[in-house]
Each structure stands twice: as C-alpha cells, then as structure tokens.
Amino acid sequence: MSLQLPVTVIKGVGEHSRELLSSLHIHTVNDLLEYYPFRHEDYAVRPLSEVQHEERITVRGQVQSEPAVRFYGKKKSRLTVRILVDGQLVQAIFFNQHYLKSRFVIGNEVVVTGKWDQGRASLSPAVMTTKKQSNEEGLEPVYSLKGDLKMATLRKFIHEAMGSYGDLIEETLPRQLVSAYRLMDRKEAIFHLHFPKSQDDLKQAKRRMIYEELLLFQLKMQTYRKQEREQQKGDKKHMPTESVEQFVQKLPFPLTGAQNRVKNEILRDLTSPYRMNRLLQGDVGSGKTVIAAIALYAVVKSGYQGALMVPTEILAEQHLESLTGLLEPEGISVKLLSGSAKAKERREVLASLKSGELDVLVGTHALIQEGVDFENLGLVITDEQHRFGVNQRKVLRKKGLHPDVLFMTATPIPRTLAISAFGDMDVSVIDEMPKGRKPIETYWAKPSMFDRVLHFMEKEITNGRQAYVICPLIEESEKLDVQNAIDVHAMLTQGLSDWKIGLMHGRLHQEEKEAAMDAFSENQTQVLVSTTVVEVGVNVPNATVMVIYDAERFGLSQLHQLRGRVGRGSEQSYCILLADPKSDNGKERMQIMTETNDGFELSERDLELRGPGDFFGAKQSGLPEFKVADLVHDYRVLEIARQDAAKLVGSEAFWQSKDYMKLRKWLEDEGVLTLNHLD
C-alpha cells in the first residue's frame, strides 16, 4: 500500500473516472487526497438573528402557505412558499424547481438553504436541504471540477481514499513545531480540510496546512541560499576602504542616514567571503543611483568589473550619463552596450570588456547575452528590473561568472512579497528622502476639467518649470496608444502655443527617443507628451507637473512610479490624475493616490486591492503558488515560517538528526538538495 499508487486502486474509480481525474492533474492517491476544496457549504441550521444580509444560511421552519408556482418561458419557473422561522415569516423562492411543490404541506417542518435578503425577509435563490445534509451537521466540500466529473462522485472518491489510505499520511513537520504551535497532525488536517465537522475544525486544519506550505517553501528558499553561499566561499574582495570613503566624501551632497546605512550593508557584503545577493528597495527619488555608483566604484577599485542592467535604453542612457559624471573623474571607464549601436562601436565595447580595459558596462538585459564576455565580472546591479532572477544567475554561472548581485527597485515591494518572492535575498531599504524635498501634491480631476489643468501647466511653465503629460492608455494596442500621444501632442502644441512640446512613444527610433529626452532634460521643450515609456527611472529635476490621462487604468504602484518623475528637485511639484473611474475600486485608487506619497503604504494597498498575482503583472510575477496559503492574508504566518526555517537551516541538528529526515527528503525531492547533503 502506498499513496503513490494510481487512483484506480480506489473503490469506484474505473478507466473513465481515471481520465476525468487526470484532467484535474489527479493521478495518484496522494494527488486525490491533496486536491482540496476551495470552499465548504455549511448546512448547519442557524438562528435568523445571527445572519447578515446576503449571507447563505440554512433554516428550519414550518410551511405556512400553499406554494405558488409561476411558469415563464419553456423551462423557467418560480416557486414561492412562506415558512415560519423562529417566529418570523420568511419567503423562500425556488427557481426552476416546480417539482418541489408537493413537498410543501402546510404545517410540516422543512429545512431550506438560501441567500438571505434582509429587507425582503426572503431566501432567494433557495434549495431544499436534504435530510442527510442537515443531519450530518458537517460542512460539505465544494471542489473545482472539469468535464463530466460530478461533485458528489469526487466527494465519494476522496472519502473512499481517506478511509482506505488515510492512515498512510505521515507527519512531515518536526514534532517540536507541531506541539509548539499546537498544530493538527497532517493526517487529521487533510481529513478536516475535506470533511470538517465544524467551522473550527476547518480553521484548525487550514492553519496547520498554511504553516506547512509556507515553512516548506521557506526551507526551500533558504537551503538554496545557504548552498549558493557555501559554493561561493573564498571569493572575498580586497577593497581599498579608505579610497571608497574618500569617494563618498567627494559626492556633490552628503548621503542621507539611510543611504549611508545601505552603503555599509553593501560594502560589508562585498568584502565578505559570500556572494552578495541583495535587494535594495527605495522609493522613487530616494537616491539609489548614487548607491550603485559607490558599489561600482568599490568593486572596480578592488580589481573587478561591474555591470548595470536596466529595463529600457532610455534609462541606460541616463545612467550612463550620471555614472560617467561620478566615476570618470576617478579614472573609471563607463560604456553603454546599446541595442542600436553600430556594429563597429559594439565590437569595440565588447573587445575592451573582454580585455579588462573597460571597467563598467551599462545596458539592457543584452548585457548577459551570448557574445558578451567579461574579463573579471565582480558585480551586477539591476535597476528597476523585476525579472532578474534564478534564470539570469544561471546564465552567468554558465559563463563561469559568480558576481555579487544587487537588485535595486523603486517598486516598493511589500515585505510579504519581498520575503516570499525573493526569499533567498537579503533586503536593504532606503526609507528616507534627501533633505529639502517637498512632498508632491496630488489632485484628482475629471477629464472635463482639462482646460483648468492646461491653465495650471501654463502658470508653472511661465515660472520656468516643466511638465510631463502621460497619454490615454489603450490596453493591448501600442498603435492606438501612439495615436493618442500624437493627438495630445497636437492639442497641446495649440493650447500652449508659446512653448515647445516634445513627444515620446514606443514607435520612435532609439535616436529619436534620446533626442526627445535630451531636449526635455535641457529645457528645450517645456512639456513632454509621452506614453508610459517614461515610467521608470527618468530624472529631470526641473519638471514639477505630472499629468496622467486615464489614471484609473493604472495600478497604484505604476501611478506612483509615474508620479515619481516629478518632485526630484527643490521646487514644489504636482501630480494631476485625470480620471473618471466607474468602479468603486477605481475611485478608491484615485482617492488613495491623493492621500499618500508613501510608496510602501501604496504597495500594501495595491496588494490588497489587486492581489499578489497582479502585482508585478501576471507573467513577471514569478510568485510561488500555494494550495492553501494566501500571501496577502497569511503574511504573518509567512514571517513566522521564515524565522523558523532560518533557525532550522542554520542548525546542525537539521542536517544530522533523524527527526528531520523527512524534511531533508522532501528538499531532495524538490531538487534543492543534492544527495551529499543527505549522507
């Protein structure tokens, strides 16, 4: 007997059922047992006084009236009957179940389940509750189904499987943890996840499985991290610390306290024998670029090369400029590997990189592709890139490179997500803005008020400032977005005829984009009309107005990114959201934007409103999927699991003792551990 046997060993599961189950990815007995319901139907009879409006409830009462049936259309009917429940007259409404008529005899007792309408004192739609359902007092599991598989059939299979094979379910968690947290044991928890007797059973079963899922996940991440670290032992950089401090002293401004702390964390990593794998979070405008410059300086002065990877060519261009300004006077060479560069230029850059003549390379993800060879790469920094993960590291490793990695992001990733999606990273946070910044004022205006907005822009421009205008967004159609940008550009050229209006969108050639960006940053154009290509990183401190069309179409984090393009200098800046949201969610987002400038708060709210799947955009998320746990609601458990996992992985006992054999085995099955860790 084994849980790995095919489902056909379960009584009642024949060839046909096997096929139906396999479309749900259920192949073994274990798969069946771990196919959890997504909710439970509660048929326990409850008093009306406890029920909320629109809640689903089961009541017991006496039939008070003849049922009335009305037919409409061929198959449609509506049956209404009055029932006395707890001294209150309740109307139960059944759709397309006229055959129930004979079941309602005045004076008889019935049990009915339905959605409670407080105002009408009715249950609608209602269903008759079977004797079995109301007597069992348990909760009925509801599974997601496909094809011809019936709910009752699947319930029966799982019940059978639990009865015949349930005893084989073994405890995976260490005993100490089970007793410390008073967790249900695994077998009991799985049983109650399917067939709980009460809401409390269900809650306890979930609590146990959520913890298990999150602990195992954290164990996996942290074991992985430990291994990466151990493999990297001995790669310690000999850094001229004094020279680094002198460089910091020479910067045009003193570092903020937070920048200083983060700088130290990074320098410590660079000189430690372990490979750095650090996430640096800092809200837009908090000054991450200079931290990148310091890290690059330190690495180059230690005898290595550095690379800075960014998502767009515009941003690469901009970073090239700021890094050149800071590093070239120190004798450090910085070059751009651009997708649009001439072949000869590209060859030269690549040759100087390979020979070690070039110190720092800036570019898009092309940086780590085929044909780009470093002489001695010591540090990779990624800016605003969500996607630099395990895969890219593999690419580097294949080239025999084991650089330190610093991952910078202005998308303030809620702590929950940071420790789950990036659980194998250390996290640094710049939580302080440079002095003298004025908080951006944000206003929400109806599109019909555009004339006033125009007026306001004109006033700011007359005072010497500049403005961005982000164009209406049409999902999935770059072509229409571009057309919108062109239209808005034409309109503003007319509306602000004394001033020059620039235009930027994704269909422009690279040189045209750069020209548009340069013209704006030199104040040759006072307004830049753009699609969302200016979203990340761009830095023009003289710009004080950000106007965003169709703001309701953006998520909070993206709006915050866009807003972060202004407020980068000492002048008061403004963000104007042009939006007419129809949904409550949309209205709430606009409201939140006007209430807070705090990127972390926004991202937490965004996560609540959108859920983690949407957070980075479905494809990029790379977030783990859980069967029972939910990152938004269970973040406290995640934090506890993270600490517990760290303790385990760091202890001798975990690697040696028999008590942890199952967990080690599990890690091996997951491909995290190699056998030599299991000896």
Tokens of 538: 């761009």
CB 157 to ligand ADP: min, Å: 55
Nearer to ligand ADP, 306 or 434 (CB): 434
The DSSP symbol for 387 reads -
- Residue 385 binds which one of ligand ADP, Mg ion, none, with CB within 5 to 8 A depending on kind? none
Nearer to ligand ADP, 380 or 430 (CB): 430
Considering only residues 385, 484, 539, 603, which one is a binding residue for ligand ADP as defined by CB under 6 A?
539
Classified as helix, coil or strand, 341 is: coil
Q: Does 289 bind ligand ADP (CB under 6 A)?
A: yes
For 172, other C-beta atoms within 10 Å of its C-beta total 15
Stretch that binds ligand ADP, among 48-56, 277-285, 358-366, 413-421 (CB under 6 A): 277-285
Q: Which residues pair with 678 in a beta bridge?
A: none
**Is residue 337 within 8 Å of 309, Cβ to Cβ?**
no
Considering only residues 113, 133, 223, 286, which one is a binding residue for ligand ADP as defined by CB under 6 A?
286
**Is residue 549 within 8 Å of 377, Cβ to Cβ?**
no
Nearer to ligand ADP, 140 or 384 (CB): 384
- Residue 281 binds which one of ligand ADP, Mg ion, none, with CB within 5 to 8 A depending on kind? none
Scored b (16 or more CB within 10 A) or e, 423-442 reads bbbeebbbbbbbeeeeebeb
CB 449 to ligand ADP: min, Å: 30
Nearer to ligand ADP, 325 or 356 (CB): 325
Alpha helix (H) ranges present in 313-465? Answer: 313-327, 343-355, 390-398, 415-421, 450-462
Classified as helix, coil or strand, 5 is: coil
Nearer to Mg ion, 12 or 325 (CB): 325
CA–CA dist 156, 166 (Å, integer): 14
CB 291 to ligand ADP: min, Å: 8
CB 210 to ligand ADP: min, Å: 35
Q: With 0-12 CB in 10 A as exposed, 13-18 as middle and 19+ as buried, what is 78?
A: middle
CB 383 to Mg ion: min, Å: 6
Nearer to ligand ADP, 255 or 417 (CB): 255
Nearer to ligand ADP, 222 or 281 (CB): 281
CB 565 to Mg ion: min, Å: 11
Q: Which residues pair with 547 in a beta bridge?
A: 469, 576
**Is residue 538 within 8 Å of 564, Cβ to Cβ?**
no
Between residue 527 and residue 586, which ones bind Mg ion under the rule CB under 5 A?
A: 537
Residue of this chain nearest to ligand ADP (CB atom): 287
Q: Does 442 bind ligand ADP (CB under 6 A)?
A: no
CB 645 to ligand ADP: min, Å: 31
Considering only residues 13, 205, 290, 547, which one is a binding residue for ligand ADP as defined by CB under 6 A?
290
Q: Does 557 bind ligand ADP (CB under 6 A)?
A: no
Per-residue x/- mask for ligand ADP, residues 364 to 393, rule CB under 6 A?
------------------------------
CA 482 to chain centre: 28
CB 250 to ligand ADP: min, Å: 13
CB 615 to Mg ion: min, Å: 20
Nearer to ligand ADP, 287 or 403 (CB): 287
How many chain residues are in contact with ligand ADP, going by CB under 6 A? 17
Q: Does 560 bind ligand ADP (CB under 6 A)?
A: no
Stretch that binds ligand ADP, among 182-190, 253-261, 527-535, 627-635 (CB under 6 A): 253-261
Considering only residues 282, 306, 423, 599, which one is a binding residue for ligand ADP as defined by CB under 6 A?
282
Q: Cα dihedral angle (515, 516, 518, 520), rounded to 10 degrees?
A: 160
Number of H helices, E strands in the chain: 24, 21
Q: Which residue has the tokens 């306290």?
A: 257
CA–CA dist 203, 216 (Å, integer): 20
**Is residue 33 within 8 Å of 167, Cβ to Cβ?**
no
CB 459 to ligand ADP: min, Å: 24
The DSSP symbol for 28 reads B
CB 280 to ligand ADP: min, Å: 9
How big, in percent rounded to 5, are the helix, strand and coil portions of the chain? 45, 20, 35
- Which is it for strands 76-85 and 56-63: parallel, antiparallel or unpaired? antiparallel
Nearer to ligand ADP, 288 or 589 (CB): 288
Residue of this chain nearest to Mg ion (CB atom): 537
Q: Does 255 bind ligand ADP (CB under 6 A)?
A: yes
Beta strands in 512-636 (DSSP E): 527-530, 543-548, 574-578
Provide the CB-side half-sphere exposure for 581 (13 A, CA): 16
Tokens of 670: 């997951």
CA–CA dist 37, 143 (Å, integer): 4
Q: Does 599 bind Mg ion (CB under 5 A)?
A: no
**Is residue 353 within 8 Å of 366, Cβ to Cβ?**
no
Query: Which residues contact Mg ion by CB under 5 A?
Result: 537
Which residues sit at the interface with ligand ADP, rule CB under 6 A?
253, 255-256, 259, 282, 284-290, 410, 434, 539, 541, 568
